[in-house]
Structure 1
Amino acid sequence: MESPDHPLAAQCLQTLPKIELHRHLEGSLRISTLRQIARQHNLPFPSNADLPALVQIQAGEPLTFANFLSKFQPLRQFYQSPQIITRVVEEVIADAAADQVRHLELRFTPAALARAQGFPLNEVMDWVIESARRAASQRGLSLALIASFNRHEPLELARQVTALSADRAGSGIDGLDLAGNEAEFSALPFAGLLREAKQSGLRLTIHAGEWGGAANVREAIQDLNADRIGHGVRVLEDSSATALARERQITFEVCVTSNVQSGVCPSVLAHPIRGMLAAGLNATFNTDDPSISNIDLTHEYRLAVQELQLTLAQLKDRVLAAARASFLPPAKRQTLCDSLEIELAQQIST
């Protein structure tokens, strides 16, 4: 097997089949599309040259939680019509397919898509479901959709999204995601809703251990019955939380570049994912918000082998681990894993 910095290894990463468990629709929009929408709808944004500075992390900017979140503020103004929402969904899936993503778990926040024009939440969700299904079929890509709401927003809004998602469980929505400001807002008020969601057949992923500590990871597992943890990179701060996650075989949706850009980790080399893997935790590689971070999943895989020094065989294991943790129904999940193993074996000698 070639060394991680060998040119053939780099080429292999580009063509390597990939699994994405943690990608936000609202952080995945093409700059070229944003420019077109701004012109067509006379949105109050600066010239083409300046737009990326508003919606993407730039060199020299502070790597902080506040700066990272500020990139979402202008993006909320772009969802001006059903056609725009449909377009951006289709483009996100096209971009994932071009990056050799075989299965994409795309999470979206109905309230964020609805807010600019006051669209009904149910209609927004159906626009996303229909366009995502169509695009995934056209691109030959396996797909799961995850509806998201924020812990810093009203409980009633979360209740609406949960009810609408439950109505679409098994027919468009596969899971729920609790996101938002975990440093200042507890997840516990949402426990009842999340329990109802699981009873309806939805799977749960919860942002925890990103801007909050390891106690939030333990809470998400013990009290909220999470199937997966979004980020979770602070879990190693508490040995009991680490042991619990290992015992329950919880999958962590880790996003290395995002964690650095948002100030969670001081650098790629200081990122705790190597320690998580050494502790027996099921950590996977994901993009989070690829447009805001100006990356793709190939970039994250390249960091894994060239900066974090995982071997290609180890990366293959992480790709398979992500597939096994997908929110697909069991039969479809097994089919995905079987086909992925064959494809990976053709590219990586173990």
Structure 2
Amino acid sequence: MKKVLILSTALTSVAMAASAEEISVMSWGGAYATSQIEAYHKPFTAQTGVSVINVDADNPAAPIKAQVEAGNVTIDVVDLEYADAVRMCDEGLLEPIDPAILPAGADGTPAADDFLPGAVAECFVATIVFSTLYAFDESKFPENPPTTIADFFDTAKYPGKRGMRKGAKVNLEMALMADGVPAGEVYALLETPEGVDRAFAKLDTIKNDMIWWEAGAQPPQLLADGEVVMTTGYNGRFFAAAVAEGKPFKQVFDGQVYEYDGYAIPKGAPNMERAKEFIVFASQTQQLADQAKWIAYGPARKSSGPLVGLYQDGKTEMGPFMPTAAANLTNALPSSYEFWVDRDAELNERFNAWLAQ
């Protein structure tokens, strides 16, 4: 009996060790997930022998919240928008990450000084700066094409269907900027009932021409299928469609809303230490720069910037396509995670009621 028990224990230990040699990472799918697989997953596996299983979600925040609340967590690392990560951390849904484990920059700069301001939070390590902006099909507007966020809302001058993400965040900010509110005044105005009313009034002007999207891969597809003539979406997705697939899509950075996105660990992740090891690896200077070879999102570390060069095609300079390029910041808004952590539920409730009207 004793020998059987020893053998059983040994087999259990082997099984546990084997299961720890793979981790699951939940992200947003499409061209973005491809950039992570190439820059993070494959080299991590090559260095450690640990397999990385990629799991796609329209927005990983919702399924992770459900897993943690159900006590059935199967994901080790999750890719989240900054505001979602801060809110979920406050709700106890994410594990704290000690910033002391993060690697110094390639030039030796301590991580605390090398990451962009605010890029590391209690339960979150940013990897990219991305933006929501709009793009249009150039073949639909060969002359006098749209150039401003106001043009997106001008269906008289630029007729045709529009696409927007189904939710309050970013749409309210863009509506106010399109209505003439300077980027620096948007959140102060949205903190007032009058500002919220004004944003929804602006959205009213294009509501009947709107097709709502929920997954990041949808906006380029809506353009490609001719269902819309212009749509908001993530800058990296439009870049991939235009450069990698040759689609006639043009991005408009005027009125863009940019923010951090990065990694967190769900509370109760099955492979906690491997999850931390993966985040440490992925957040290195070179890894963040390597991701920019695959998609036009800016690295969240200062030391990565100088290493960003050409797209994977070997000829397209990535710099001009980054949300943080100087030319793209002339009328741009950094997303306020403080605002959305406090008001997400309230404003989305109003947004859903507005949709149902």
Scaled to the shorter chain, the TM-score interval is under 0.3
Structure with more helix by fraction: 1
Which structure exhibits the higher relative contact order, with contacts defined as CA atoms closer than 8 Å and separated by 6 or more residues? 2
Please say which structure displays the higher CA radius of gyration: 2
Structure with more strand by fraction: 2
Give the TM-score of the pair, scaled to structure 2: 0.28
